[in-house]
Amino acid sequence: MTGPAASAAVDALQAALAAENAAIFGYGVAGAFMTGSQRGTATVFWDEHKSARDTLASMLRGRGARPGAADAAYKMPFTVHDRHQAVALAAYLEDGVTAAYLGVVGATSQATLRRFGAGAMQRPAVRAAYWRGSAEAFPGLPAARKSR
């Protein structure tokens, strides 16, 4: 695969990598306000994001692209000062990662890459459902389309 199709796939993989990097940063913040088994779960999820990041970086290198670097810090979407807000942050991070993988599905018609994106987005959707205690009907799709 070369040309614009390959470049769209690389862009989508870079976006997924950027989302994973942001989630890794965010879990560092969220985990700091959690205790006990909740913190244990956050640590497990954090590790899953790190391993997903490594997978994406190696996929990008395999396509001759240089994996984008993580930013030093990210602006919090809302104030995080307690356990409750930390859980909301974790769910927010997972939503962002879910949407990024959905972008991979839409950016390519290559079967392997599509399956990768669709399979990969199930993990953050499951983690978001864990934090919320409920599932979304259409994870990763924009809210405007959800309410239609």
Partner 1 sequence: MTHPAGTTRRRVLGASVLAAAAALGASGCDPRAWPWATPPRPAPDVAVLHDVMAAEDALIAKYTAVIAAFPSLRGRMSPLLAQHREHLARLRAQLVIPPGASPSESAAATARSRVPRPRVPASQAGAVSYLRAAERGQAAALVRRLVSAPPSLAQLLASIGACEASHAALLGSAGDPR
Q: Would you tell me which residues interact with partner 1 (CB under 8 A)?
A: 41, 44, 98, 101-102, 105-107, 109, 111, 114-115, 117-119, 121-122, 125-130, 133-141, 148
Phi, psi of 110 (to 5 degrees): -75, 125
Q: Find the shortest distance in angstroms from Cβ 79 to partner 1.
A: 26
Q: Find the shortest distance in angstroms from Cβ 31 to partner 1.
A: 16
Closest of 118, 84, 125 to residue 101, by C-alpha: 118
H-type helices in 63-136, by residue range? 83-107, 111-120, 122-132
Q: Find the shortest distance in angstroms from Cβ 108 to partner 1.
A: 8
Distance separating alpha carbons of residues 89 and 85, to the nearest angstrom: 6
Distance separating alpha carbons of residues 18 and 66, to the nearest angstrom: 13
Q: Which is nearer to partner 1, 11 or 136 (CB)?
A: 136
Q: Which is nearer to partner 1, 30 or 128 (CB)?
A: 128
Q: Find the shortest distance in angstroms from Cβ 100 to partner 1.
A: 12
SS3 (DSSP) at 38:
helix
Q: Which is nearer to partner 1, 61 or 146 (CB)?
A: 146
